[in-house]
Amino acid sequence: MSEPNVLLLLPTGRDARIAASILAASGIDSSICSNLEDAMLLLDHAQCLVVAEEALINCDRSRFAVWLQNQPAWSDFPIVLLTMRGTEFDKRLSFLDRYLVVLERPFLASSLANSVRSALRARSRQLEVRSYIEQKQEVSQRQNLLIRELHHRVKNTLANVRAMMGATAKSSGTVEEFVKDFSARIVSLAETHSMLTDDYWQTAFLHNLLKGELDHYETRDSPRIRIEGPSVPLIADIAVPIGMAFHELASNSSKFGALSHPRGQLDVHWSVADTGDKHMLSLSWQESNGPRVEAPKRRGFGTALLEKVVPLQCDAQVELHYRQEGLRFTLALPLRDTRLVPSYA
């Protein structure tokens, strides 16, 4: 049952029932309250109070006065006060001045209906103002969140770039090789950030990350890359290291693995399962029909990223199997739907 629009506090005789009937004839819902304490319980959900002067004078008004005083800036809660014609306004009710519409008794039924209808229109406009203010606050809060996210992501990105630069320099034999490998890693990182920025919820889809790294290795005449799995959005804290991991796997495969051979094949598939209160992503990267695979003698940036950075930053479990018939990489990743954005003063 919906809350009544109008509360009626008219304790004398049949006043309350008559007022309720008048308002009902005008299509206005109302609820009769026997005393101010009962009305106070409903005020937060009502839009107007019709009250007889004597109902307030003969009771403790302090809680009601405090409730009115504590109204938010957008709110002027409308009150229709019924007084006796020819009497002076009781100064004990002066705390109502800001909210008051006075209707002298006796009055026409249309006067009551029109006064209440006018009060409801005013309240409706106030509620529209509240909605506008709340929307502005939500926008401001989202902007603040995005600024914190940007600050957080820039710091992480710079740390990643610095790590990539140092690792690439150590593994590069020439300046040209360094520029080529380092530039490719920066481009991959930039593409992941572009996906996150373009998406309203700041997520990147797993399928898009893979396609961005693998599409330029595919051949039209004889497709050799299969990507299969459900739609999985990844939040920024996960998408960035996972995108970097896919780049290292794809780059390594194009140089030494299945994608370096015309007949080489790559099969990437994943699934998502519920494990208690978590969603767990299981992904497999399997290469085949490429050159004979051997475990690397030197552990470079890519290996460190896959075996150390991804498990640490994503709380994931990874395995690298250097099988002779083809590299196999597996990932068990708990999916989160909230960002790890720090709060700033």
Question: Residue 326 phi/psi, 5° resolution?
Answer: 155, 145
Distance CA 316, CA 185 (A): 22
Confidence of residue 199 (pLDDT cuts 50, 70, 90): low
User: Where do the H-state alpha helices sit in the chain?
Assistant: 15-25, 36-42, 53-57, 62-69, 109-171, 175-198, 206-214, 236-255, 301-304, 310-314
pLDDT over 50 (residue 170): yes
Question: CB–CB of 52/12 below 8 Å?
Answer: yes
| Residue 1 counted as domain residue | no
Confidence of residue 167 (pLDDT cuts 50, 70, 90): confident
Return the CATH number at 248: 3.30.565.10
Q: 326 or 183: whose pLDDT is higher?
A: 326
| Residue 64 counted as domain residue | yes
Question: Residue 318 phi/psi, 5° resolution?
Answer: -125, 150
Q: 222 and 79: one domain?
A: no
Confidence of residue 343 (pLDDT cuts 50, 70, 90): very low
Q: 122 and 214: one domain?
A: no
Question: CB–CB of 64/40 below 8 Å?
Answer: yes
Q: 233 and 105: one domain?
A: no
Question: CB–CB of 53/83 below 8 Å?
Answer: yes
- Domain hosting residue 73, numbered range: 6-132
Give the model confidence (pLDDT) of 94-144 as tens digits: 888 777 888 888 888 999 999 999 999 999 999 999 999 989 988 888 888
User: Whole-structure pTM over 0.75, yes or no?
Assistant: no
Return the CATH number at 64: 3.40.50.2300
Residue whose entry in the numeric block shows the structure tokens 């998406």: 199
Q: What is the mean pLDDT of residues 86-100?
A: 82
| Residue 222 counted as domain residue | yes
Question: Residue 279 phi/psi, 5° resolution?
Answer: -105, 125
Provide CB contacts within 8 A for 64, sequence distance 6+.
36, 40, 56
Other CB atoms closer than 10 Å to residue 297's CB: what's the count?
5
Among 265, 247, 272, residue whose Cα is nearest residue 333: 272
| Residue 112 counted as domain residue | yes
pLDDT over 70 (residue 345): no
Question: What is the pLDDT at residue 115?
Answer: 92
Distance CA 281, CA 279 (A): 7
Question: CB–CB of 236/149 below 8 Å?
Answer: yes
Which of 114, 132, 150 delimits the end of a domain?
Answer: 132
Give the model confidence (pLDDT) of 271-284 as tens digits: 999 887 789 999 99
Among 247, 254, 264, 255, residue whose Cα is nearest residue 306: 247
| Residue 142 counted as domain residue | no
How far from the centroid of its chain's Cα atoms is residue 238's Cα?
A: 17
Residues forming a β-bridge with 271: 282
Q: 236 and 293: one domain?
A: yes
Distance CA 189, CA 305 (A): 13
Q: What is the mean pLDDT of residues 322-342?
A: 82
Which of 83, 101, 132 delimits the end of a domain?
Answer: 132
Which of 100, 132, 164 delimits the end of a domain?
Answer: 132
| Residue 340 counted as domain residue | no
pLDDT over 90 (residue 231): yes
Question: CB–CB of 285/249 below 8 Å?
Answer: yes
| Residue 141 counted as domain residue | no
Among 44-58, 181-195, 298-312, the range of highest mean pLDDT: 44-58
Distance CA 236, CA 150 (A): 10
Q: 179 and 125: one domain?
A: no
Q: 186 or 154: whose pLDDT is higher?
A: 186
Output the six-digit token pair for 129.
């103002």
Task: Report the chain's terminal Cα–Cα distance, integer Å.
Answer: 44
